Homo-oligomer: A and B are copies of this chain.
């Protein structure tokens, strides 16, 4: 029962605006199955959706006005690094904009609505391959308190973003104090382990998740914390 399998989807070509990303993924991974969780890097989702902007390729800071435009709030500045809150409610470096894995002179923004991107991908996979997968759109964010980055979920569809254990009991019969697990973030981080940053693998399959987790889900509604309930904003 408690067994998962993860693998990266190799052989996806470079994604361009307007591409049928679902079709490219299905072609590269014909073995998608009902109940699989398909994790797709936000960068290729945003590229396919045309979320690109031109910048001066000779100026390493030419994307900074876009960082401010995509932010609703700047939380911290250190040198060229801005920690911002994006219009989606994510807190991350430089509004999620970086210049890697895109051609010179362009930057990729975050998808406009990553939950919607995930829903559309799920529908498109169903239409092209006839399978019901869950979809997570992932990106790589830093954290407070801890060095290093991990992949987290920006959007999801067909899977609950969190697993709410309130009311469950532990093996001693006590009500659990740790109650809400961010499973889509754990799955996004797990998928990063088989995707990697330097390999060009933009999507992964996580097979074997508990079918009880597969329901309507939303990162925006379940995971994004509003500023007024956040102890550190």
Option from B147, B148, B165, B198 in Cβ contact (under 8 Å) with A176: B198
**A187 within 8 Å of B by Cβ?**
yes
Most chain B CB neighbours (cut-off 10 Å) among A76, A171, A199: A171
**A185 within 8 Å of B by Cβ?**
yes
Option from B83, B140, B175, B186 in Cβ contact (under 8 Å) with A150: B186
Asked if B198 and A192 sit within 8 Å, CB to CB, the answer is no
**A133 within 8 Å of B by Cβ?**
no
Residues of B within 8 A of A176 (CB): 100, 197-198
Given contacts A189-B185, A223-B147, contact A100 B178 (CB under 8 A): yes
How many angstroms from the CA of A223 to the CA of B5 in the assembled complex?
27
Interface size class of A (residues with CB under 8 A): 35 or more
Asked if A195 and B91 sit within 8 Å, CB to CB, the answer is no
Residues of B within 8 A of A146 (CB): 152, 182, 185, 223-225
Asked if B185 and A170 sit within 8 Å, CB to CB, the answer is no
How many angstroms from the CA of A124 to the CA of B41 in the assembled complex?
39
How many angstroms from the CA of A168 to the CA of B177 in the assembled complex?
42
Asked if A171 and B2 sit within 8 Å, CB to CB, the answer is no
How many angstroms from the CA of A155 to the CA of B223 in the assembled complex?
27
**A101 within 8 Å of B by Cβ?**
yes
How many angstroms from the CA of A215 to the CA of B177 in the assembled complex?
35
Asked if B148 and A194 sit within 8 Å, CB to CB, the answer is no
**A161 within 8 Å of B by Cβ?**
yes
